[in-house]
Amino acid sequence: MISRRDFLQWTAVAGAFATGFPGGMTRAAAQQKITQDDLLKFEDKGTVTLLHLTDIHGQLNPVYFRPPDTNIGVGAFEGIPPHLVGQTFLDHFGIDNGSMLSYAHTMVDYVNLARSYGKLGGLDRTATLVKAIRANRGDDNVLLLDGGDTWQGSYTSLKTNGQDMVDCMKLLKPDAMVGHWEFTFGSDRVEEIVEDMGYPFLASNIFDTEWDEPVFEHTAFYEKGGHKVAVIGQAMPYTPIANPRWMFPEWSFGIRPDVLQTNVNAARKAGAEIVVLLSHNGFDVDQKLARVVSGIDVILTGHTHDAVPEAIEIDSTLVLSSGSHGKYLGRVDLEVKNGKVVDHNSTLIPVLSDVVTPDAEMQAKITEVRAPYEAECSRVIGKSDGLLYRRGNFNGTWDDVICDAMIAERDAELSFSPGFRWGTTVLPGDNITVDDLYNQTSMNYPSVYRLEFTGTQIKEILEDVCDNLFNKDPFLQQGGDMVRVGGMGYTCAPNQQIGNRISNMTHLKTGELIDPNRKYVVAGWASVNEGVEGPPIWDVVESHIQKQGTITKEVNQSVKIDLS
């Protein structure tokens, strides 16, 4: 077994310049340098292993997914993980430039490294790693936990109402899961799947609005490694705000730390030696929860798509965030003595698709569930001249394409696109397929509206969304990144208070400041209101891309950030 320091050393890419890749690495050389066994090397601890994957967003196959270039933390969370990007991230964790971990975790030299190392993820590759760890540690010592946002986010998940993901996840055999975007399939569909999937769907924070009773199980107990383990589930607390309440009107959500503390205490009283919170709260919410709720040994967090190379320690609680889109498999080993966790080791395994051998059973199932849709998914609708990506606190180039499409196709002056964190990346020179398009837009309330807003209303919208993202109290952050804008620029000051964060709003076409009293025609999509009229966003964007043929998008410079 090797230490994390050794792990970082062998992933470093070194060598003379050649072939156009960093460090002289061709793709073949990169694949030869790292093996599947290398990815699995780990210093075992104790007898209990937790495996964690989260925010897969419907991605059955390997993907490119560029990490964010902007992830701003405010208040007590400024300048600490997960709010580190690029070179700062590499320096903080001691990761070498050009290494596989640099590629997996940052946008530094992303295109070159993507071409060197290839795609990440693929549920068939994840299955291989999970089976190998179970074989090494023993099934009775391993818990596999799904952090949610699993069923939504692709063409096939949309067309099958999530059944493609459910069928494949059954083969992976998770021990429990939680949810968020799952609820946008509607309460009836969620209950139908939960009844069928064969493992617990946990949510300590969802209550029936009529009787104020728990809707789902809140805790599941397991005997692993000779110890009793309690897993408590936490759904995304602001689902009815971030997503349409009308899709699940009979359920109420919330963080509910008092309920969580009660459930932790009950688990301890029932004999649990290890208490795990399987959470879709988001990293900062769970950092605060670790300080206000006692008795949790490990928080496996999701929702914010953050990825850290190892768990961070907050008082006596470990917090691990395992990224998104199937790029990583999180692992935490625990040693328990006298009923308490006394030692641990943790890592985030990048699922390097060109290195990991696909699991034959899972590969066959993926082929089966995608077969009716494969021809349409592979249909080319255009080509990208540059890098198309989404993730970051503000506009990405994919967002700009979507915003441009709405302005052009809906004859609007400005456009709004939600700050979703999901959506895969297209490399320069690659074709844009239907798969790529739906990876950005696949959801169940896709109508593109066309409305008029005054300049004052536009500022109020931006201020409200900004406060959801940059409120210094993470319990008041309601998820997502900043709303993306088309046709306008502005300055954002995250450290200010609501009402004072947004300034210098400018209409890019005229160069004039947005007039507070003038009405502007605005196109947008993903409204949480019921009965919104308009074409689906994928039709709007496809039409725009086909007319353009080749998409060329420079990095958006019209949104300025003021960190004073």
Give the domain ranges of the chain: 1-33+78-117, 47-64+119-369, 378-561
Res 156 pLDDT > 90 = yes
CATH homologous superfamily, domain 378-561:
5'-Nucleotidase, C-terminal domain (3.90.780.10)
Query: Averaged over 449-453, what is the pLDDT?
Result: 98
- Comparing 384 with 16, which gets the higher pLDDT? 384
Nearest CA to 255 out of 285, 228, 226, 232 is that of: 285
Please report the beta strands in 271-316, taking only residues with DSSP state E, as ranges in sequence order: 274-279, 298-301, 312-314
Query: With contact defined as beta carbons under 8 Å apart, do 247 and 179 qualify?
Result: no
Q: Is 113's pLDDT higher than 90?
A: yes
Cα–Cα distance for residue pair 323/11, rounded to 1 Å: 19
Helix (DSSP H) and strand (DSSP E) numbers for the chain: 19, 26
Architecture of the domain delimited by 47-64+119-369: 4-Layer Sandwich (3.60)
Q: Compute the average pLDDT of residues 529-556.
A: 96
CA-nearest of 535, 137, 504, 184 to 331 is 137
Q: What residues form DSSP beta bridges with 350? A: 328
How far is 55 from 42, CA to CA, in rounded Å? 24
Query: Average of pLDDT values for 122-145?
Result: 98
Q: Measuring CA to CA, which residue among 228, 230, 225 is closest to residue 335? A: 225
Q: Which of 74-88, 256-270, 427-441, 467-481 has the lowest mean pLDDT?
A: 467-481
How far apart CA 383 and CA 297 sit, in angstroms, is 48
Task: List the structure tokens of 231.
Answer: 């897993």
Give me the mean pLDDT over the 453-469 stretch.
97
Q: How confident is the model at residue 555 (pLDDT cuts 50, 70, 90)?
A: confident
pLDDT tens digits, 318-331: 999 999 999 999 99
- Whether the CB-CB separation of 130 and 145 falls below 8 Å is answered with no
Specify the DSSP class assigned to residue 204.
T
pLDDT classification of 20: cutoffs 50, 70, 90: very low
Looking up tokens 């430039």 gives 97
What pLDDT does 8 receive? 39
Instruction: Note the pTM of the prediction, 2 decimals.
Output: 0.94
Q: What is the pLDDT of residue 205?
A: 98
Mean pLDDT of 242-264: 97
The average pLDDT across 238-247 equals 96
With a cut of 90, say whether residue 57 has pLDDT above it: yes
Query: Residue 27 — very low, low, confident or very high, per pLDDT cuts 50/70/90?
Result: low
In this predicted structure, what is the pLDDT of residue 229?
Answer: 98
pLDDT number for residue 11: 40
Place 131 in a pLDDT band, splitting at 50, 70 and 90. Answer: very high
Judged against a pLDDT cut of 50, whether residue 5 lies above it is answered with no
Which tokens go with 158? Answer: 């949309």
Q: Do 49 and 40 form a contact (C-beta atoms < 8 A)?
A: no
Query: 3-state class of 431 per DSSP?
Result: strand
The three-state secondary structure class of 539 is helix
